[in-house]
Chain A
Amino acid sequence: MGGKMAPLPHAGAITSHGGVSVKRREGRSTLGWQNPVGTEAAAQPPTQERQVSRRTVLKWAGAGALSLAAAPYVFVPRVSAQRQRTLRIIQWSHFVPAYDVWFDQYAKAWGEARGVQVTVDHIAFSDLVPRANAEVAAQQGHDLFMFISPPAAFEPYVLDMADVVQEVERRHGPILDLAKRSTYNPVTGKWFAFSDNYVPDPGCYLKSIWTGIGMPDGPSTWEDLLTAGRLIREKYPQVQIPVGIGLSQDIDSNMVCRALLWSFGGSVQDENEQVVLNSEATIQAVEFMRTLYREAMSPAVLSWDASSNNQAFNAGQTSYIVNSISAYRTAQENGLPVADDTFFVEALRGPAGQWACEHVMGAYFIWQFAQSPDLAKEFLIDLVDNYRDAVLASKLYNFPSFPGSVADPGVPVEERPAAGQAWIEEVCEDDPFGSVPANKLAPLKQALNWSTNVGHPGPANPAIGEVFDSFVLPDMFAKAATGALSPREAVAEADARVRQIFAKWRERGLVA
């Protein structure tokens, strides 16, 4: 800075030839730099304008840019040449924030005990798939990646987790069948993910309203729900949506639509991964939804996102939703009156059975390009060893995929699954987090009896994943419910979409 300045043609002139004019006052320019002593310009009277050429501006700009570029190398201390072992984890921002606090502390302590630097990144659940795509494209990213639904589409690019599953089973007993069908591909024989937890999806109802219509214990069948919906609409006109079953492009709608479909005997695929959506059972389920929508719901459910049912429920604008307990826990923490009025029921029974989709399927996988795959596997095994703490940190939101992992210490392996299940029943009967009454969560204690995986009765596969992520089933139900298509047409259209998706993945050898 401070290059030679040409003498000005005359005092006070505006610069020419593309120069920049800068007025100087008492040795300091209006741009704030100190006048360089000893230059020709320094001899100019304070009030005189000086000329700055284009070249000078470029020099300053260049010098500034170089300084900025060099600054980190000059001022930032060099990182120690000795590389520390690292483990990078990415997972969703849990619906029960206390779990994230516990997990982050656990991961940090785990790393400190082993001289490993562990970082945990939390992102919104809706960003998990785009983020995973980006990491594959870049061939770098996190060592452990957690999904909340089976990530079957990534199977070719992840490590086989069979050794992790075997080791955990050796310690705690077998994995749940529902978790296995969400993380194991029988066609390729590969465990493409490792499940530490699943989350039940019970019904939540407002006891005050249901008591008002003479059903204080809530519904137990889909037919009960329809009957109650009609009564609530009649008796409580201020409740905009008597029954809040989502029919939109969101995760909760995806889950509850499957619950209804299975309870009527329909499904997207059979046990052998063959498409069987277009069936009389499916048409009956769709017809039932059409009636339910017209007599007990409103078009609001067509536009819901994952939080809408909670909001409507907390505001008393709907009396029944299908959801996990996270909204209830939030209401409890915030002291909302709705918390005491919230009660739970098991999955509703239909003509063909009692089913609900797991609300969340926690599934970790390790990229083939992960930097620390062995550490990642070790971390997962140790995490399951501490799973009772995890369940309590989630305030009973997470249920273990290995029931034996929550058994008391010292229980022999062969007895651990039963002991773990007994503990789950115990905490559901006597909620340690202040439910009134204490057994409010009792309907969840046998959740395993009615919870199943997304691809029920078959396993997870990329085709089921795409059907899930493109919201084919909520669309099918919504079109029939609104009259955009007849039930038969809606089912036929959805079936065609599903077959197209299956054919594509079958060509790639990932579906039977």
Chain B
Amino acid sequence: MSVSSRLSRGGTIQRGEGLRLADRSDRLGALMAAPALLYVLVLVGIPFILALILAVSESTAGSLSFQFVGLRNFARVVGDPIFRRALRNTLVFTLISQGIVMVLATTLARILNTPFRGRRLVRFLILMPWVAPVALSSMAWVWIFDSTFSVINWTLRAVGLLGPREWLYWFGDPTLASIAIVTVHVWRMLPFSTVVLLAGLSSLPREVQEAAVVDGAGFFRRLLHVELPLLLPVLTVAVLFGMVFTATDLGVVYLLTRGGPYNTTHVLASYAFQQGVLGADLGQGAAIAVFLFPVLVLVAIGMLRVARGTEVGH
């Protein structure tokens, strides 16, 4: 018997008919959410707990033994200058790349929100970096920034901006290597933030914007005092995701510089991999890996509070 046949005109379920699972929104909802929860628990929760356990142990690669050493691994990594550099890099790369992403994404979203010929194609192309596998795209960037064969350098030389004895060693200089890493992070995160902001822009009430125009507000006044405040919840989500993705990313640094030159571009994820997996010291690697977790949790809580506070009704 179908749902509709068992509903009275008032929409209530007729007495005497037992509810089946499909009709119980509460239980059905829990059932539907179960696979996702299971996924998070098995593939995120359990490995995270294992990482915490490893971080207070003396585990080594290839070892199944566990010897509790308290916070010794943390004390050791804090005294390690490469770790401190990696921590600083993680924060700097994340903040700078997200700042650039937000400016560019807002600009792009505004452009894409305006009707023009070929807009669908442009939207599709902008999404490409997001869907491209990071290993593949990073390899392309490796060639673009290659210290010997960089296409950027050859172009600069061709247009006369680099002299015959001048050369930019992108991955051979700590500053240039950092610029390259930030560039790839921006390239990776820009599509996601643009799409999120575009969705936010599309949902802004037109009356508010029209009222601002009628009141004589110029472009920047409308942007800063009307659109951005209304976009803040969406913007916050985009920044939050961007920060978490960038701060925890291993692929970009590992594929571009492997932490070089001389360990100056490591981030926590790549240094944890180098020490924990390649260097066989799982305990120290885990300690490095979980170091950023409390910081990210606090950032997430703070940003979500900001977003909630700006929602209508709060």
Contact of B61 among A17, A18, A153 (CB under 8 A): A153
Q: Please give, as numbers and ranges, the residues of chain B lying within 8 Å of A206 by CB-CB distance.
A: none
Tell me whether A479 and B61 are in contact (CB under 8 A).
Answer: no
Complex Cα distance, B149 from A4, in Å, reads: 68
- A147 shortest CB reach to chain B, Å: 12
Complex Cα distance, B172 from A301, in Å, reads: 7
Complex Cα distance, B20 from A327, in Å, reads: 69
Q: Please give, as numbers and ranges, the residues of chain B lying within 8 Å of A16 by CB-CB distance.
A: 4
Complex Cα distance, B62 from A157, in Å, reads: 7
Answer yes or no: A6 CB below 8 A from chain B CBs.
Answer: yes
Within 8 A of A (CB), among B105-149: 147-149
- A152 shortest CB reach to chain B, Å: 9
A493 — nearest CB in chain B belongs to which residue? B81
Answer yes or no: A55 CB below 8 A from chain B CBs.
Answer: yes
Q: Please give, as numbers and ranges, the residues of chain B lying within 8 Å of A58 by CB-CB distance.
A: 21-22
The answer to whether residues A250 and B258 also contact, given A237-B164, A299-B173 and a CB cut-off of 8 A, is: yes
Tell me whether A302 and B260 are in contact (CB under 8 A).
Answer: yes
Answer yes or no: B167 CB below 8 A from chain A CBs.
Answer: yes
Tell me whether B4 and A248 are in contact (CB under 8 A).
Answer: no
Binds B, one of A24-32, A163-171, A310-318, A353-361: A310-318
Complex Cα distance, B147 from A317, in Å, reads: 11
Tell me whether B61 and A129 are in contact (CB under 8 A).
Answer: yes
Answer yes or no: A44 CB below 8 A from chain B CBs.
Answer: no
Tell me whether A299 and B169 are in contact (CB under 8 A).
Answer: yes
Within 8 A of A (CB), among B161-187: 164-165, 167, 169-173, 177
Tell me whether A303 and B3 are in contact (CB under 8 A).
Answer: no
Q: Please give, as numbers and ranges, the residues of chain A lying within 8 Å of B148 by CB-CB distance.
A: 240-241, 300, 308, 311-312, 315, 317
Complex Cα distance, B60 from A469, in Å, reads: 14
Contact of A469 among B1, B257, B278 (CB under 8 A): B278
Within 8 A of B (CB), among A454-487: 462, 465-466, 469-471, 474-475, 478-479, 482, 484
Tell me whether A136 and B64 are in contact (CB under 8 A).
Answer: yes
Complex Cα distance, B147 from A241, in Å, reads: 11
Complex Cα distance, B112 from A90, in Å, reads: 50
Contact of B2 among A4, A248, A312, A484 (CB under 8 A): A4
Complex Cα distance, B170 from A27, in Å, reads: 65
Within 8 A of A (CB), among B78-110: none
Q: Please give, as numbers and ranges, the residues of chain B lying within 8 Å of A508 by CB-CB distance.
A: 60
Within 8 A of B (CB), among A90-139: 129-130, 132-133, 136-137, 139
Complex Cα distance, B62 from A130, in Å, reads: 10
The answer to whether residues A51 and B278 also contact, given A154-B62, A300-B172, A303-B260 and a CB cut-off of 8 A, is: no
Answer yes or no: B14 CB below 8 A from chain A CBs.
Answer: no
Answer yes or no: A215 CB below 8 A from chain B CBs.
Answer: no
Answer yes or no: B302 CB below 8 A from chain A CBs.
Answer: no
A300 — nearest CB in chain B belongs to which residue? B147
Within 8 A of A (CB), among B160-217: 164-165, 167, 169-173, 177
Complex Cα distance, B188 from A60, in Å, reads: 39
Count class of interface residues, chain B: 35 or more
Q: Mark A6-22, 1 if CB is under 8 A from B, else 0.
A: 10010000011111000
Answer yes or no: A5 CB below 8 A from chain B CBs.
Answer: yes
Q: Please give, as numbers and ranges, the residues of chain A lying within 8 Å of B300 by CB-CB distance.
A: none
Tell me whether A6 and B5 are in contact (CB under 8 A).
Answer: yes
Answer yes or no: A156 CB below 8 A from chain B CBs.
Answer: yes
Within 8 A of B (CB), among A23-65: 51, 53-56, 58
Tell me whether A302 and B172 are in contact (CB under 8 A).
Answer: yes
- A158 shortest CB reach to chain B, Å: 9
Within 8 A of A (CB), among B1-54: 1-5, 7, 20-23
Complex Cα distance, B172 from A466, in Å, reads: 24
- A211 shortest CB reach to chain B, Å: 23
Answer yes or no: A305 CB below 8 A from chain B CBs.
Answer: yes
Complex Cα distance, B282 from A504, in Å, reads: 13
Tell me whether A305 and B167 are in contact (CB under 8 A).
Answer: no
- B202 shortest CB reach to chain A, Å: 25
B165 — nearest CB in chain A belongs to which residue? A237
Answer yes or no: B259 CB below 8 A from chain A CBs.
Answer: yes
30 CB contacts below 8 A, A to B, read A9-B4, A17-B7, A53-B3, A54-B3, A55-B3, A130-B277, A130-B278, A136-B62, A136-B64, A153-B61, A154-B61, A154-B62, A156-B62, A157-B63, A237-B164, A248-B261, A298-B147, A299-B261, A300-B169, A303-B171, A303-B260, A308-B147, A312-B148, A315-B148, A462-B280, A466-B281, A469-B274, A469-B278, A478-B261, A479-B262
Given contacts A156-B62, A303-B171, 6 further A-B contacts (CB under 8 A): A58-B22, A136-B62, A156-B63, A302-B171, A315-B149, A470-B274
